[in-house]
Amino acid sequence: MSAELVEKVFNQVLPVDKYIQDLRTGLDSLGLVQLVQELPAVIHLFTPQQSNPLTVKMLTHLLNPQFSAEGSNRRQRENSTYKLFIKYMREAASGRRGAVNLGSILRFATGTEEEPALGFALQPSIQFMESANFLPTANTCINRMNLSLPDESNPLPLQEELFNLFDLAFCNTFFGLE
């Protein structure tokens, strides 16, 4: 809601139009008007966010990688893939990946381009998987992105080729790649 509409709905002193009174009545039936009166700090949940732009650091904290045990061969492969993914995120953040930005990556993994005001109910994560190709996949229902691991028969592609696959995945606005 706009800041003006929020003020009209929650300020009971102002005279309001019928549609605002109806909105106030509906919110009051849910207990939200009383909640805002008792805890005025929650009113920011109803106003447009002037959020800080997403940074690489914020995104790496949001997308929690699920690594194998330290010292294992699989962990070494996970580290090499993850390092390239971090490098890709830095390029996206600086605008060197065309239409892809950090919000595109978060949207791919979670379905939203920004962190919700109250955080995610399910912590977003990165899982590493064996796959014949290196196109990332995601399951937005559980906020998980899958990155493919190299192996002896399927080595990591050259950096630019891998980054082009990342671009393809993160530029798409439809879901169901998995």
Active site residue 171: no
Our measurement of the distance from residue 94's CA atom to the centroid of its chain's CA atoms, rounded to an integer in Å, reads 18
Give residues with Cβ within 8 angstroms of 99, minimum separation 6.
167, 171
Q: How distant, in Å, are the alpha carbons of 75, 102, 146, 176 from that of 62?
A: 20, 11, 15, 22
> Which burial class, exposed, middle or buried, applies to 94 when counting CB atoms under 10 A from its CB (0-12, 13-18, 19+)?
exposed
Cβ–Cβ < 8 Å for 110, 175: no
- Active-site residue identified among 141, 142, 168, 171: 141
Question: What count of other Cβ atoms lies within 10 Å of the Cβ of residue 127?
Answer: 17
Catalytic residues: 141
